[in-house]
């Protein structure tokens, strides 16, 4: 019998789909590296989300593993190189969470521009921060999208059609369809940072994008610009960002992802009024989780059928 270990909770419909197709399913909740290295023995498939870490140690402990399935997008918790070297396939469902992350990104943009979280905090302690609550409109402003893939393009579409923003973008390759559909303009990274009123990051985390936004890049941004990151925390040098926000090189930031997660208690970011923080909830909607759970189960079943391990 084909055995699958679910190492981070997926939607129950996904679990049902696996079982109804004859797979034997076990569940554990985000085990540590050592625990997973022990548990993985005997399983043909492993399902994870952004956690747990699937390290070389885990992969080398696996004796039957054929496939690692990520219920979502972003495989930075998986040592893909180690998996490949042992002929283990890594599959994802990259479309499942796009809309949810894009909508959260727009939410953070508005929350930072209109100081929503700050006003909420002040009112709860009895203040009426009308004067200090003055923000800026997004309509007519320039949105700079770094990484115009699925989520970046989706954010650009909402910003253009829903908020009347102008779009500039920087990505590995030019996207003619984006330029045509949204009248988006391709700019080199430095130019984008100098131009945009709102900069939003949507690259995947790689060796190239790690600390892509560092002190030098932050200093290029306009003093009244804001920075949004719903991609991966390590794309930004956090220490440089804290400095930029404290010293007013930029006006504010909206963050869903951090170099260290959970964000440590009393982290300097939590002391700043011009920052809106969410705890990596980009894909945390009913819809995205159901889609991710069902789609990854479908892909796994298909994978095992192709390998003729399932009928
Ligand atoms: P994608 O692969 O469709 O898009 C990434 C884009 O970044 C691509 O267009 C690629 O060309 C570009 N890119 C990569 N490296 C680059 C570089 N060095 N310079 C310039 N551009 C570069 O991915 P996606 O589905 O749009 O996801 C984007 C990011 O969102 C990923 O980092 C993913 O991990 C993250 N994400 C976060 C959450 C969350 O909960 N906050 C949920 C899902 C995805």
Cα distance between the two ends of the chain: 11
What local confidence, expressed as pLDDT, does residue 49 receive? 95
What local confidence, expressed as pLDDT, does residue 168 receive? 98
Ligand 1: which atom is nearest the Cα of residue 151?
Answer: 26
Q: Where are the alpha helices (DSSP H) in the chain?
A: 12-20, 33-39, 56-61, 80-85, 98-113, 116-124, 150-163, 176-182, 189-195, 215-218, 238-246, 286-306
pLDDT digits (tens, 9 = 90+) for 29-63: 999 999 999 999 999 999 999 999 999 999 999 99
Report CA(147)–ligand 1 centroid distance (Å).
6
What local confidence, expressed as pLDDT, does residue 311 receive? 84
Structure tokens at 117: 């979280």
Best of 202, 214, 255 for a ligand 1 pocket test (most atoms within 8 Å of beta carbon): 202
Q: What average pLDDT does this structure show over 163-182?
A: 98
Q: What average pLDDT does this structure show over 213-235?
A: 98
Residues 247 and 249: their CA atoms lie apart, in Å, by 6
Report CA(51)–ligand 1 centroid distance (Å).
17
Closest CA to 5 of 30, 111, 32: 30
Could you give the residue numbers annotated as active site?
A: 232, 261, 280
CB atoms under 10 Å from CB of 96, counted, come to 22
Structure tokens at 15: 């679990």
For ligand 1, residues with CB inside 6 Å are 72-74, 94, 97-98, 101, 147-152, 170-172, 202-206, 208-209, 230-232, 256-257, 280, 282-283
Report CA(204)–ligand 1 centroid distance (Å).
4
Q: For ligand 1, atom 11, which residue shows the shortest CA distance?
A: 172
Residues 44 and 230: their CA atoms lie apart, in Å, by 32
Please check whether residue 5 is in contact with residue 46, taking contact to mean a CB–CB distance below 8 angstroms: yes
What local confidence, expressed as pLDDT, does residue 202 receive? 98
Q: What is this structure's pTM? A: 0.94
DSSP conformation class of 277 = E
Ligand 1: which atom is nearest the Cα of residue 208?
Answer: 18
Question: With 90 as the cut, is the pLDDT of residue 228 above it?
Answer: yes
Please check whether residue 9 is in contact with residue 27, taking contact to mean a CB–CB distance below 8 angstroms: yes
Please check whether residue 99 is in contact with residue 288, taking contact to mean a CB–CB distance below 8 angstroms: yes
Q: For ligand 1, atom 29, which residue shows the shortest CA distance?
A: 231
What is the length of the chain? 311
Report CA(274)–ligand 1 centroid distance (Å).
25
pLDDT-based confidence at residue 167 (cuts at 50, 70, 90): very high
Q: Average per-residue pLDDT in the chain?
A: 97
Report CA(309)–ligand 1 centroid distance (Å).
33
User: Looking up tokens 């190492």, which residue turns up?
Assistant: 7
pLDDT digits (tens, 9 = 90+) for 76-114: 999 999 999 999 999 999 999 999 999 999 999 999 999
List beta partners, residue 5: 26, 46
* Count of CA atoms in the C-beta half-sphere (13 A) of 287: 9
Question: With 90 as the cut, is the pLDDT of residue 74 above it?
Answer: no
- Axis crossing angle, helix 98-113 with helix 116-124, rounded to the nearest 10: 60
Residues 25 and 45: their CA atoms lie apart, in Å, by 9
Q: For ligand 1, atom 2, which residue shows the shortest CA distance?
A: 149
């Amino acid at each position: 019998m084909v055995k699958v270990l679910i190492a981070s909770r997926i939607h129950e419909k996904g679990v049902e789909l696996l079982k109804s197709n004859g797979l034997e399913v076990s569940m554990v909740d985000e085990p540590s590296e050592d625990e997973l290295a022990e548990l993985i023995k005997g399983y043909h498939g492993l399902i994870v989300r952004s956690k747990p870490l699937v390290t070389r140690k885990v992969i080398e402990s696996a004796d039957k593993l054929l496939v690692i399935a990520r219920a979502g997008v972003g495989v930075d918790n998986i040592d893909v190189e180690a998996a490949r070297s042992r002929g283990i396939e890594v599959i994802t469902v990259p479309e499942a969470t796009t809309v949810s992350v894009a909508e959260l990104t727009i939410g953070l943009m508005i929350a930072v521009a209109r100081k929503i979280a700050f006003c909420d905090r002040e009112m709860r302690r009895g203040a009426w921060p009308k004067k200090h609550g003055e923000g800026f409109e997004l309509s007519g402003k320039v949105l700079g999208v770094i990484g115009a893939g699925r989520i970046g393009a989706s954010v650009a579409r909402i910003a253009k059609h829903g908020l009347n923003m102008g779009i500039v973008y920087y990505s590995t390759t030019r996207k003619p369809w984006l330029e045509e559909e949204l009248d988006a303009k391709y700019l080199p990274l430095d130019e984008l940072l100098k131009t945009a009123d709102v900069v939003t990051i949507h690259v995947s985390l790689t060796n190239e994008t790690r600390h892509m936004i560092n002190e030098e890049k932050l200093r290029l941004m306009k003093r009244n610009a804001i920075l949004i990151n719903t991609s991966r925390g390590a794309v930004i040098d956090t220490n440089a960002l804290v400095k930029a926000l404290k010293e007013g090189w930029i006006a504010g930031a909206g963050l869903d992802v951090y170099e260290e997660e959970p964000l440590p208690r009393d982290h300097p970011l939590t002391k700043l009024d011009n920052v809106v923080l969410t705890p990596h909830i980009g894909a945390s909607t009913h819809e995205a989780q159901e889609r991710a759970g069902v789609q990854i189960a479908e892909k796994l079943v298909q994978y095992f059928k192709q390998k003729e391990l399932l009928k």
